């Protein structure tokens, strides 16, 4: 069974952490993954940097730009990760924009992910319709779970369609925003979280965007299986380097 599905079956709330590969330094990738696992994080999203990250706010944009400046490429990331399964067992997801994958070749990209032991992908600008038409078979051939986003504006019909195409979890964007721009959740979010929770979807939901501390993590996981922290972790890396990852994680859990 895919490590993501296995993890989602555990009777606990999932903490997933996002970071940009190659940030703060080009070769920090493996160390960050190992430290996150050691500190009981449940799932990791490895950001594949892109020059034009449309759905990201300033924090992730800046880390992505720095990672590219440090020399990160798709091939270097794969090279860094080639032995990762010798040291960690945590579910690993690559999150990135579609163009770098397209240039690597979608089939090659998926094949390489399978060889390394990547469990899933999140590609914000690959729409579910195009995926279902053109790429689903390839992803499934290599045992990769593709994760789709929904937002407060996504219609019920479309959520049902996304649920039918998904086989891991649904990434619930907490509010209409790019990454890193929310401070705290209000009544609007709670109504939305409850609404989705009551739809009884076949895939569990994990909430992302705007989760930055224990309070928002707890609010989100009241209504969902888990939550994802990205920008807040990047900010922590910017301020503290890779030395104090444990402190960050403990403050959330």
Residue closer to other proteins by CB (options 74, 205) is 74
Q: Which long-range contacts (CB under 8 A, 24 or more apart) does 137-145 make?
A: 138/106, 138/107, 138/110, 139/110, 141/110, 142/110, 142/111, 142/113, 142/114, 143/2, 143/114, 144/110, 144/113, 144/114, 144/118, 144/119, 144/120, 145/2, 145/4, 145/5, 145/93, 145/119, 145/120, 145/121
Least distance to other proteins, CB of residue 233, Å = 21
d(CA 32, CA 67): 14
Residue closer to other proteins by CB (options 57, 117) is 57
Annotation says 56 is catalytic: yes
Least distance to other proteins, CB of residue 103, Å = 3
Annotation says 11 is catalytic: no
CB–CB of 23/234 below 8 Å? yes
Query: Which residue among the candidates 35, 37, 42, 45 is catalytic per the annotation?
Result: 45
Query: Which residue among the candidates 37, 42, 56, 163 is catalytic per the annotation?
Result: 56
Least distance to other proteins, CB of residue 88, Å = 26
Residue closer to other proteins by CB (options 76, 88) is 76
Contact footprint for other proteins (CB under 8 A): 50-52, 54-55, 57, 61, 65, 68, 73-75, 97-104, 124-128, 130, 148-151, 153-155, 158, 173, 176-178, 181
Least distance to other proteins, CB of residue 91, Å = 22
Residues that are catalytic? 45, 56
């Amino acid at each position: 069974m895919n490590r993501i599905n296995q993890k989602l079956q555990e009777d606990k709330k999932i903490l997933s952490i996002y970071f940009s590969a190659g940030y703060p330094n080009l070769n920090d990738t493996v160390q960050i993954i190992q430290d996150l696992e050691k500190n009981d994080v449940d799932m990791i999203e490895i950001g594949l940097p892109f020059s034009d990250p449309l759905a990201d706010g300033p924090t992730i944009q800046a880390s992505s730009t720095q990672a590219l400046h440090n020399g990160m490429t798709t091939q270097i990331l794969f090279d860094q990760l080639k032995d990762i399964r010798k040291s960690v067992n945590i579910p690993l997801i690559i999150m990135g924009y579609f163009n770098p994958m397209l240039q690597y070749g979608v089939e090659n990209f998926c094949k390489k992910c399978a060889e390394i032991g990547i469990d899933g992908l999140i590609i914000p600008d690959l729409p579910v319709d195009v995926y279902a038409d053109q790429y689903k078979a390839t992803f499934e051939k290599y045992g990769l779970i593709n994760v789709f986003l929904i937002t407060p504006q996504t219609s019920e019909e479309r959520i049902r369609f996304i649920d039918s195409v998904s086989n891991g979890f649904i990434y619930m964007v907490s509010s209409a925003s790019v990454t890193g721009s929310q401070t705290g959740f209000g009544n609007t979010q709670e109504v939305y979280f409850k609404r989705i929770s009551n739809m009884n979807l076949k895939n569990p939901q994990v909430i992302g965007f705007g989760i930055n501390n224990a309070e928002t993590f707890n609010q989100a996981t009241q209504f969902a299986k888990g939550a994802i922290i990205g920008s807040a972790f990047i900010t922590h890396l910017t301020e503290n380097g890779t030395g104090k990852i444990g402190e960050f994680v403990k403050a959330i859990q």
